[in-house]
Homo-oligomer: A and B are copies of this chain.
Amino acid sequence: MQAETVSVAEWLFAQPALNLTVSENATEWDNTVALIELMVPGKAEVLTYLNSNGSAPLRYAHVVVDHRATTEPYLADLLVGPLPIRNGTTRYEPLTYPYTKSAGGRVRNLDADSETMSAWFYNISASIEDITQELWGGTATGADEDTLDLWGIDPPWQDDGRIIRWTAFWNLPTSDFDVETLLPLGLYFKADVTGRDPTGWSVEGWFYNGIFYSTTDEFRSAFYSPGFVKLPPNEDGLWGQTGQRGPVPPLDTAYPPTMVAPSGPRFFVDEQQQYVKWMDFEFYLGFSRDIGLSLHDIKYKGQRIIYELSLQEAIAHYAGQDPMQSGTAYLDSFYGFGPYAFELVKGYDCPPHATYLNSSFYVRETTHTHTDSICLFEMDAPYPMQRHSTGSYVSAAQNVYFTVRTVNTVGNYDYMFSYEFYMDGTIDVNVRASGYIQAAYFANNHDYGYQIHSALSGSMHDHVLNYKIDFDILGTANTMIATTLVPVSETYPWSGGKPRNTMKLVRETVASEDNSRLLWGANGATQYTIVNTDQPNRHGEPRGYRILPSLGTAHLTVQDSSNVVNAANWATHDIYVTRQKDSEPRAAHPYNSQDVFDPPIDFAKFFDGESLLQEDLVVWVNLGMHHVPHTGDLPNTVFTTSHNGVQIMPLNYLEGDPSMESVQQVKIEYKAGEVGEVETYGQPESSCQAEWWGYKGDSVVRKFPYAPGEVYYETEDAG
């Protein structure tokens, strides 16, 4: 793989028409290679290979070239291949088929002049140095001694053919903590930065404490007028820094409980093949710049259930009274998840007994490797898989599950992505968010957040994360069934002619892409299942997997967002179904933010009325978190409540619960305070086994007539 990347890089740099410059030598007016990755082959080819021992699909590279040696800079997706490189055979061509954008395979680059623009912005902030000194005792000039920083909206406004950027002032941290997003200062300026010629760029106004000033002079004049209200800054301090502080809670310094794995890993990992097998689950891992970790060809009991399970995109959509917060709607794959899969903290991010894998990604003619950035581990859940008590026996089954995890810190936020596999055949996909919030300046922001520190508002925002689940339930011919519990008033043959208020099930198929943008629905009444209607079980019920939310919140609050326009049309509902197409491999493109009206991938265009009955289906599901930060989010957001997930659960897929295949079960029979038999089904001896022989049931003391000395035991529970 390393050699292949090298060969593609060398070949690209040998193509004169691409006019490439090595990144470290490139100016803003040179073309560079932004990405070299393996192109994911088409599903049909892959299935032929996997299912029928067909030949392996031809290898191609997916390359992104950053074309800046032009007045209209653009990012171009290219297909390079076939590989290995052979001069004469290997060609490059625009990669267009996976994208919905009219232009196809290319999108303008609004960041081509980021260095020039940064300097231009510093000129503007330096032009009010007198004011920044007066307000905050510091400057933002681009110099080392600056104590202030500039940082603006994302994506920029793209209306009416203009590119408008609002830029905010922030205090720089004075500690080594990553606290800048907690230090807004409440001053913003608007600039029209359309085109590549800085002489055509202009400052279009200032905003401070609820008042818009249309020129710098107007703002300065107001600032020096009597009665101008100067507001306090947000400043770095212990309040924004992690680390122990305050009184240590009782017994906190003693060893807390910890998980140990006496037999070591009970799963198999082939690092070379990125293949993982745990119990009856097996799958392959993928990793890419845009989306980080992905799972492929997930088989359960030897049968594929999911062809691909992968994050597609994450949005963090803010709102506020100020243009910075209001204008912020990060689309994180622009930055990429892959580059931010940092090395995990052993014992904290993953339990002490976890196994670790590395991940790699291409950037600027280098391959970066994040050591130990993916972890795999089993856990004994703090509750059994199932249990049942009676007056004569109790049975219980252990709930050991397997997790694959990676953490991606995209800027201020840390996303912890977990894929959990359970003995009952369930897969739980979940994400937790921690890290620093991006906060707002407090003035006038009451309708958009709680005030959480002296001059800080916990800027309200939605996180929505989209996942692709390409189900293949007993083949690719699948159907989604929505089963809804509905209240009804119904008269029965036995009800004496009287209607009874009760409920029933309504089963509906999601027939076509005309009605396949779905919500979880009120009171969780609707259950979505992907089934193969041609493969009923022996009771006539179609075998399938159900998709259910672990939490209820999922999609974007904002409707028709002015920030993202068509760039996040995957965030409008909770769950979507489309027909699988190699031309629709991803719900979003990393450069969707560069042209929000006509983005490279407009997810809404996937919905073109095709039938979804017994077709190869892809489910796109959103995990969402509405976040209205409060004081408890300082210094960092806690994982306890900031999480969401979706479960993929077998439904009439097998005969009975497969977790009963495990030996990790016990049945204790008891009677009259004595244990009869303890069944341990061949599980290894544990520290609890001796205690099982002491199981008693309930002891009884007679109160009237009182007989305190005669404790006896019930033979069946009295109730």
Closest to A359 in B: B698
* 0 or 1 for each of A336-352: is its CB under 8 Å from B? (1 = yes): 10011011011111011
Q: For window 359-402 of chain A, which residues contact chain B by CB distance below 8 Å? A: 362-371, 377-380, 382-390, 392-400
Name the B residues within 8 Å of A434 (CB-CB): 384, 386-388
Cβ of A71 under 8 Å from chain B: no
Cα A655 to Cα B453 in complex, Å, equals 8
Closest to A642 in B: B386
Contact present for B505 and A353 (CB under 8 Å): no
CB A429 to nearest CB in B, in angstroms, measures 13
Cβ of A274 under 8 Å from chain B: no
Q: For window 522-573 of chain A, which residues contact chain B by CB distance below 8 Å? A: 522-525, 527, 537, 539-541, 548-555, 557-563
CB A378 to nearest CB in B, in angstroms, measures 5
Name the B residues within 8 Å of A682 (CB-CB): 244, 248, 253
Contact present for A257 and B379 (CB under 8 Å): yes
Provided the pairs A9-B703, A248-B662 are in contact, do residues A345 and B692 lie with their beta carbons within 8 angstroms? Answer: yes
Contact present for B267 and A13 (CB under 8 Å): no
Contact present for A255 and B262 (CB under 8 Å): yes
Name the B residues within 8 Å of A349 (CB-CB): 383-384, 387, 396
Residue in B326, B396, B399 whose CB lies within 8 Å of A345: B396
Residue in B22, B500, B688, B702 whose CB lies within 8 Å of A326: B500
Cα A422 to Cα B293 in complex, Å, equals 30
Contact present for A211 and B493 (CB under 8 Å): yes
Contact present for B493 and A249 (CB under 8 Å): no
Cα A596 to Cα B486 in complex, Å, equals 23
CB A327 to nearest CB in B, in angstroms, measures 9
Residue in B280, B630, B695 whose CB lies within 8 Å of A651: B630
CB A564 to nearest CB in B, in angstroms, measures 10
Name the B residues within 8 Å of A382 (CB-CB): 259, 351, 379, 403
Contact present for B703 and A178 (CB under 8 Å): no
Cβ of A266 under 8 Å from chain B: yes
Contact present for B555 and A523 (CB under 8 Å): yes
Q: For window 278-318 of chain A, which residues contact chain B by CB distance below 8 Å? A: 279-280
* 0 or 1 for each of A469-504: is its CB under 8 Å from B? (1 = yes): 000000000000001011100001111001011111
Name the B residues within 8 Å of A686 (CB-CB): 255, 258, 347, 352
Contact present for B242 and A395 (CB under 8 Å): yes
CB A538 to nearest CB in B, in angstroms, measures 8
Contact present for A257 and B537 (CB under 8 Å): no
Contact present for A626 and B352 (CB under 8 Å): no
Cβ of A246 under 8 Å from chain B: yes
Q: Most chain-B CB neighbours within 10 Å: which of A352, A383, A392, A393? A: A383
Please choose the segment from A116-124, A611-619, A666-674 that sits at the chain B interface, where 4 or more of its residues have CB less than 8 A away: A666-674
Closest to A524 in B: B553
Contact present for B704 and A378 (CB under 8 Å): no
Closest to A430 in B: B383
Name the B residues within 8 Å of A398 (CB-CB): 256, 348
Contact present for B246 and A660 (CB under 8 Å): yes
Count of identical protomers in the assembly: 2
Name the B residues within 8 Å of A684 (CB-CB): 253-255
CB A652 to nearest CB in B, in angstroms, measures 5
Q: Most chain-B CB neighbours within 10 Å: which of A207, A382, A697? A: A382
Name the B residues within 8 Å of A653 (CB-CB): 631-632
Contact present for B351 and A661 (CB under 8 Å): no
Name the B residues within 8 Å of A319 (CB-CB): 502-504
Residue in B425, B486, B626 whose CB lies within 8 Å of A557: B486
Closest to A655 in B: B631
Contact present for A523 and B557 (CB under 8 Å): yes
Cα A719 to Cα B686 in complex, Å, equals 47
* 0 or 1 for each of A10-29: is its CB under 8 Å from B? (1 = yes): 10010000000010000000
Contact present for A343 and B697 (CB under 8 Å): yes
Cβ of A223 under 8 Å from chain B: no
Name the B residues within 8 Å of A255 (CB-CB): 261-263, 684, 686
Contact present for B551 and A524 (CB under 8 Å): yes
Provided the pairs A557-B486, A626-B485 are in contact, do residues A638 and B667 lie with their beta carbons within 8 angstroms? Answer: no
Contact present for B539 and A249 (CB under 8 Å): no
Cβ of A462 under 8 Å from chain B: yes
Cα A553 to Cα B484 in complex, Å, equals 13
Name the B residues within 8 Å of A403 (CB-CB): 382
Provided the pairs A347-B686, A555-B523, A661-B249 are in contact, do residues A703 and B362 lie with their beta carbons within 8 angstroms? Answer: yes
Cβ of A659 under 8 Å from chain B: yes
Name the B residues within 8 Å of A715 (CB-CB): none
Contact present for A414 and B389 (CB under 8 Å): yes
Contact present for B636 and A363 (CB under 8 Å): no
Name the B residues within 8 Å of A666 (CB-CB): 345, 348
Cβ of A452 under 8 Å from chain B: yes
Provided the pairs A256-B380, A385-B638, A660-B242 are in contact, do residues A719 and B335 lie with their beta carbons within 8 angstroms? Answer: yes
Closest to A650 in B: B632
Name the B residues within 8 Å of A422 (CB-CB): 640
Cβ of A587 under 8 Å from chain B: no
Q: For window 72-109 of chain A, which residues contact chain B by CB distance below 8 Å? A: none
Contact present for A212 and B494 (CB under 8 Å): yes
Contact present for A388 and B649 (CB under 8 Å): no
Q: For window 226-252 of chain A, which residues contact chain B by CB distance below 8 Å? A: 239, 242-252
Closest to A13 in B: B704
Q: Most chain-B CB neighbours within 10 Å: which of A335, A343, A668, A679? A: A343
Cα A565 to Cα B702 in complex, Å, equals 39
Q: Most chain-B CB neighbours within 10 Å: which of A207, A365, A660? A: A660
Q: For window 629-654 of chain A, which residues contact chain B by CB distance below 8 Å? A: 630-641, 647, 649-654
Contact present for A640 and B708 (CB under 8 Å): no
Cβ of A432 under 8 Å from chain B: yes
Cα A253 to Cα B262 in complex, Å, equals 12
Q: For window 684-719 of chain A, which residues contact chain B by CB distance below 8 Å? A: 684, 686-688, 691-692, 695-706, 708, 714, 717-719
A-B contact pairs, 6 of them (CB 8 A): A33-B704, A249-B280, A256-B398, A483-B628, A539-B631, A541-B630
Given A343-B697, A523-B554, output 20 extra A-B contacts at Cβ < 8 Å: A5-B703, A9-B706, A22-B704, A176-B392, A254-B264, A256-B261, A257-B380, A259-B382, A323-B494, A339-B717, A348-B688, A426-B640, A448-B504, A450-B539, A487-B557, A524-B626, A630-B651, A632-B657, A635-B657, A641-B649
